[in-house]
Amino acid sequence: MSADAIESEVPHRCVVCGCKDLWRQKDFPTGLGLLIVGLAIVLSSVAIAWFRPVLALGILMGFALLDMLLFMLMKDRLVCYRCHARYRNTGALTDHGGFKLELNERYRQESLRLQSANQDLNPESTSRSPQING
């Protein structure tokens, strides 16, 4: 990989595959996020079951506030569209924007075409169903 891929601690292209298209994402563990959402659902449902709608609404608003605080406090990381390599603690990330679905779809289609071409070149590597003679 060329030396200009990382400049002042910020990658301008992927060090793994050389792709110039990187996007910014919050560096937050997905499992913890799901746990927080599940806890909010359970606690607010219990409050509703006890006929305490104000408490249930307070619980949901409290978790929304927690979500907003976590969003503001969490650092960003860079993700490569092509190989999905992740770069943490990279300094200022103002050069890179958020996720773009059309760009992601372009790289996904490219990957599918490459897989299809590789299977066409090596047909014996694909699994074949056994033939039944009868």
pLDDT tens track for 96-121: 889 999 999 999 999 999 988 888 77
Residue 120: its pLDDT value, please? 78
pLDDT band (50, 70, 90) for residue 81: very high
C-alpha span between 64 and 72 (Å, rounded): 12
Mean residue pLDDT across the chain: 86
Domain annotation covers residue 32: yes
Please give the pLDDT value at position 59: 97
The predicted model gives 50-61 an average pLDDT of: 97
**pLDDT at residue 123 greater than cutoff 60:** yes
Q: Where are the alpha helices (DSSP H) in 21-126?
A: 30-49, 53-73, 101-121
Domain range for residue 37? 3-122
The pLDDT of residue 82 is above 80: yes
> Does residue 133 belong to any structural domain of this protein?
no
Whether residue 50 lies inside any domain: the answer is: yes
Q: Is 11 helix (H, G, I), strand (E, B) or coil?
A: strand
Q: What's the domain count of the chain?
A: 1
Q: Using an 8 Å Cβ cutoff, are 81 and 74 in contact?
A: no
Give pLDDT, residue 50.
Answer: 97
pLDDT band at 134 (very low <50, low <70, confident <90, very high): very low
What mean pLDDT comes out for the span 32-58? 96
Query: Does a structural domain hold residue 130?
Result: no
Structural domain contains residue 42:
yes
